[in-house]
Amino acid sequence: MNKPNVAVLALAALLVAAPALARPAERWANSENERKSDAGEILYRCGTDETGPRVPVLQAQIDRLMAEGRFQAGGQIPVYFHVIYSGSEGNVSDADLDAQILVMNRNYAGRDYNGNVVSGAANTGYTFVKVGTSRTNSRKWFKMTPGTGPESQAKNALAVSPGSTLNIYTCKPGQNLLGWAVFPFSSQAGTNQDGVVIHYGSLPNGYLSPYNLGGTATHEVGHYLGLYHTFQGGCDTGSCSTSGDLVCDTPAQGTATSGCPSGKDTCPATGLDPIHNYMDYSTDICYTNFTAGQDTRMNAVVNQYRSWIGNVRVANGGSGQNARDLAGTATTFRAVPNPFNPRTKIEFSTRAAAHVSVRVFDIQGRLVATLVDRNLEAGSHTADFDGERLASGVYMMVLRVRGEAPVVRRISLLK
Ligand SMILES: [Zn+2]
């Protein structure tokens, strides 16, 4: 390693420290962003930090990726929930989390909260599957806010495979925030600090009406996939690819929307405000769509910064659920039996002679076994897996065929 340049380091420290001196709350906690629940609780819709470097999406870059056949449109995103509660408050049920997954799947498929197709809404191709849940009773973490010690500690303790999993934390953030997220191009992306935090009262059927249909998670995941607020930059009418939200089919907005007005036009030069867009600040029932431009931006950003999405197909190899169908892969890859104790046979097929590996990881992403790692002819193959020395629990087995996207299956060891 080179000897560090002390002057440069000191300057860097100063640059980093300067914004931190301002109270973190000032970024979002102002009267313009203030909202109220039906019960009168003051709320701020979003604490995502948009102050970092702006990342444009270059059409040339999209064209190149498409030409190379590397442009993934959408993909299945494994979601690991972390329920942080305090005593009797906030320990939401698995059913609540499942309902949130369903809402995200609908919203990202161009459907409303009830599953009805919304005319003109983008079907983004992103789907979500719950792969696990942790539950932690912590009064301190329960009240965490962005950029503070409790957030850092909670995420460091709880994050699961942040380089291949979306971690969503539910809690009751301090300073009345409904949620926040880490951008794909943030230095925190892929680290334990990555992910999305939402107020538990914003889950479907949560107590924070009219912010309790699950729209908060849809909004924050939009940030996680690279979208800015539709009102970013106000009425700045420069080129749509260099100003505002860097998306060309969302009209500029002078202000964030409050409630669900029948019409709003703060920047007449660009068209009516996109008050029904998931990336505005409207109430949940007002939210109905992402645009095609936002879909393209998400795909381009994800291809560059979260390329594991779309490459990794997750499916539940055991239960009767149709996750495998959702994954859209025809590859045979399963464990028989599953669940198993302690031995199972892994069956898979390859379409051509190729180098193949089959590895098993625990839920923390640690390698526990390499079952295959060699050249194989095309056809059907099997490998035996013995979990004698392993603890009961969920494991991920990953099939990699050189030149193809990896395939992931969940297997359960029940002792
Ligand atoms: Zn936001």
Find the 144 Cα to ligand 1 centroid distance in Å. 17
Residue with tokens 């943030």, as numbered in its chain: 186
pLDDT band at 20 (very low <50, low <70, confident <90, very high): very low
Query: pLDDT, tens digit, for every residue of 27-61?
Result: 788 888 899 999 999 999 999 988 877 777 766 66
Q: Is residue 230 part of a domain?
A: no
Is the per-residue pLDDT at 277 higher than 90?
A: yes
Q: What number is the average pLDDT over the span 152-159? A: 97
Number of C-beta neighbours around residue 82 at 10 A: 23
Q: What is the pLDDT of residue 11?
A: 38
Q: In what order do the strands lie in the sheet with 166-171?
A: 126-137, 75-85, 166-171, 196-199, 179-181
Q: What is the pLDDT of residue 237?
A: 66
At 352, give phi and psi (nearest 5°): -150, 160
Same domain, 202 and 338: no
Same domain, 209 and 329: no
Find the 298 Cα to ligand 1 centroid distance in Å. 15
Q: What number is the average pLDDT over the span 264-292? A: 94
Question: How many domains is the chain built from?
Answer: 2
Task: Look up residue 8 and give its amino acid.
Answer: V
Following CA atoms 256, 31, 171, 160 in sequence, which dihedral angle do they give, to the nearest 10 degrees?
50
**Catalytic annotation, residues:** 220
- The last residue of a domain, from among 180, 197, 224: 224
Q: What is the pLDDT of residue 404?
A: 67
Between CA 387 and CA 394, with CA 391 as vertex, the angle to 5 degrees is: 85
CA gap 142, 173 in Å, rounded: 7
Find the 33 Cα to ligand 1 centroid distance in Å. 11
CATH label of the domain that carries residue 206: 3.40.390.10
CA 27 to chain centre: 22
Q: Contact 228/184 with Cβ under 8 angstroms?
A: no
Find the 216 Cα to ligand 1 centroid distance in Å. 9
pLDDT band at 69 (very low <50, low <70, confident <90, very high): low
Find the 296 Cα to ligand 1 centroid distance in Å. 19
Query: pLDDT, tens digit, for every residue of 242-262?
Result: 888 998 889 999 999 999 999
Find the 146 Cα to ligand 1 centroid distance in Å. 13
Find the 186 Cα to ligand 1 centroid distance in Å. 15
**pTM strictly above 0.95:** no
Beta-bridged to residue 83, according to DSSP, are 135, 170
pLDDT band at 184 (very low <50, low <70, confident <90, very high): very high
Find the 54 Cα to ligand 1 centroid distance in Å. 15
Q: Contact 254/267 with Cβ under 8 angstroms?
A: yes
Give residues with Cβ within 8 angstroms of 15, minimum separation 6.
Answer: none
Least confident segment among 227-241, 276-290, 397-411 = 397-411
List the end-to-end C-alpha distance of the chain, in Å, as a whole number.
48
Is the per-residue pLDDT at 275 higher than 70?
A: yes
Same domain, 131 and 26: yes
Q: Is residue 301 part of a domain?
A: no
CA gap 129, 289 in Å, rounded: 21
Q: What is the pairing mode between strands 343-350 and 379-386?
A: antiparallel
Same domain, 89 and 208: yes
Q: What is the pLDDT of residue 151?
A: 97
Identify the domain containing residue 141 by its residue range. 6-224
Same domain, 218 and 322: no
Is the per-residue pLDDT at 373 higher than 70?
A: yes
* DSSP sequence for 354-404: EEEEEEEEETTS-EEEEEEEEEE-SEEEEEEEE-TTSPSEEEEEEEEETTS
Q: Is residue 308 part of a domain?
A: no
Q: Is residue 300 part of a domain?
A: no
Same domain, 215 and 352: no
Q: What is the pLDDT of residue 365?
A: 57
Find the 179 Cα to ligand 1 centroid distance in Å. 8
Q: Is residue 83 part of a domain?
A: yes
Q: What number is the average pLDDT over the span 139-154? A: 96
Q: Where are the beta strands (DSSP E) in 60-104?
A: 75-85
- The last residue of a domain, from among 224, 252, 284: 224
Q: Is residue 45 part of a domain?
A: yes
- The last residue of a domain, from among 189, 224, 259: 224
Q: What is the pLDDT of residue 27?
A: 77
**Average per-residue pLDDT in the chain?**
84
Find the 219 Cα to ligand 1 centroid distance in Å. 6
Query: pLDDT, tens digit, for every residue of 88-133?
Result: 999 999 999 999 999 999 999 999 999 999 999 999 999 999 999 9
* Burial classification of residue 371, based on how many CB atoms lie within 10 Å of its CB (0-12 exposed, 13-18 middle, 19 or more buried): middle
CATH label of the domain that carries residue 373: 2.60.40.1930
* DSSP sequence for 115-149: SPBPTT-----EEEEEEEEEEEE-HHHHT--TTSH
DSSP 201: G
